[in-house]
Amino acid sequence: MGYRVAIVGATGEVGRTFLKVLEERNFPVDDLLLFASERSEGTRLTFKGKEYEVKALNKQPSFKGIDLALFSAGSGVSREYAPKFAENGAVVVDNSSAWRMDPEVPLIVPEVNPEDIKMFKNKGIIANPNCSTIQMVVVLKPIYDEAGVRRVVVATYQSVSGAGAKAIRELEEQTKAWCSGGEIPEARYIPKRIAFNVVPHIDVFMEEGYTKEELKMLNETRKIMHDDSIKVSATCVRVPVLYSHSEAVHVETRSEISPERAREVLSKAPGVVVIDDPSKGEYPLAIDVQGRDEVFVGRIRKDLAFEPGLAMWVVADNIRKGAATNAVQIAELLVKEGLV
């Protein structure tokens, strides 16, 4: 049985990756509809050897007959159009922040809280978590089940692809200019110059002095893990890397867990790959993880500040597991459970 699938924001970095992941995982697509803004209207994209024309979302008179809609547009677009797709019978998996904290919308990471999937019936919408949250909770869940989690201190090192294709080009242009001795273009898509720099500013600053990105890691983790007692203090930093986010994660557990036991537990966890032998120079790297769908963890050690606690290095491809792959995994879960 195949499904009529729509992709909203099809020409963006995540939208194009939706197509790759759907094809690679052989998702049962019977018919495919591609939507984007008017400026992308007429663009042709290939899926399984066949070309499809992108249509302007705002020109569509109806969204009837669609089984599944994967959204990779901004929050404003999602708030306006996701309910329209849902009202016409589609299940919407939304990659924006628009619906994540809505109590009637499930926030799903299939390796962590698949049981929440049935909640989508309230509004017909399922939210995909923030990229930095996804990779962290995939690793936290096995630790949580083994020893509990009291608090997390995390510093992220997030690639420019998290800010979109224009940010990727900005890093490339600034780097080329620096290497050639030319004038470095001004920052437009990252708040400060990103070439040969790190920028502790992702999304907007809130009253508490944290950015919205940092507070997402707190609020989304609590919702996904069903535990409002977990404390998360995050510092989110943009780094001059094209793809894959890295995170230094420090966890205070509720009971003792040794690094050896943590490695054992994590090595058996779904979606997790342990690469952890620093004596041989073995630990996850952003350039090695690019294009992969798993979450990689290494440098697992006893934390010297939290007692009991662990320190870990967590890396994942933010466009794939942090966005497109997680959404397609949600779609697969819907099919498995007979919900679409």
Domain boundaries, the chain: 3-129+323-336, 132-317
Catalytic residue among 179, 226, 245, 250: 245
How far apart are alpha carbons 195 and 187 in whole angstroms?
10
- Judge whether 188 and 290 are in contact, CB under 8 Å: no
Pair 331, 323: CB distance under 8 Å: no
Residues 258/282, Cβ–Cβ less than 8 Å: no
Residue type at 276 in one-letter notation: D
Q: What is the pLDDT of residue 119?
A: 85
b/e burial code for range 47-63 (CB count within 10 A of at least 16 → b): beeeebebbebeeeeeb
Q: Consecutive sets of 10 residues in the chain, 340 residues long: mean pLDDT of each?
A: 95 96 97 96 96 96 95 95 96 97 97 93 94 98 98 98 96 97 96 98 96 98 98 98 98 98 98 97 98 98 98 98 98 95
Query: What pLDDT is stored for residue 120 in this prediction?
Result: 82
**In the block, residue with structure tokens 């996850």:** 284
Read off the tokens for 242: 């094209």
Name every residue whose Cβ is closer than 8 Å to that of residue 181 and which is 6 or more positions away in sequence: none
CATH fold of 132-317, please?
Dihydrodipicolinate Reductase; domain 2 (3.30.360)
Task: Compute the distance between CA of residue 259 and CA of residue 246 in angstroms, rounded to an integer.
Answer: 20
- Is pTM, for the whole model, over 0.75? yes
| Predicted pLDDT of residue 184 | 96
Whether 179 is catalytic: no
Give bridge partners of residue 236 from the DSSP assignment.
156
Classify domain 3-129+323-336 at the CATH topology level: Rossmann fold (3.40.50)
- pLDDT in the model for residue 273: 98
Tell which residue, 139, 111, 152, 132, has the closest CA to residue 275. Answer: 139
Supply the pLDDT for residue 122: 81
> Per residue, what are the HEC states of the chain?
CCEEEEEECCCCHHHHHHHHHHHHCCCCEEEEEEEECHHHCCCEEEECCEEEEEEEHHHCCCCCCCCEEEECCCHHHHHHHHHHHHHCCCEEEECCCCCCCCCCCCECCCCCCHHHHHHHHHCCEEECCCHHHHHHHHHHHHHHHHHCEEEEEEEEEECHHHHCHHHHHHHHHHHHHHHHCCCCCCCCCCCCCCCCCCECCCCCECCCCCEHHHHHHHHHHHHHHCCCCCEEEEEEEECCCCCCEEEEEEEEECCCCCHHHHHHHHHCCCCEEECCEHHHCECCCHHHHCCCCCEEEEEEEECCCCCCEEEEEEEECCCHHHHHHHHHHHHHHHHHCCCC
Radius of gyration of the chain (CA): 20
Could you tell me the strand order of the sheet in which 309-316 lies? 231-238, 149-158, 245-253, 309-316, 295-302, 272-274
CA dist 23 → 248, 313, 328 (Å): 33, 31, 10
Q: Tell me, yes or no, if 236 is annotated catalytic.
A: no
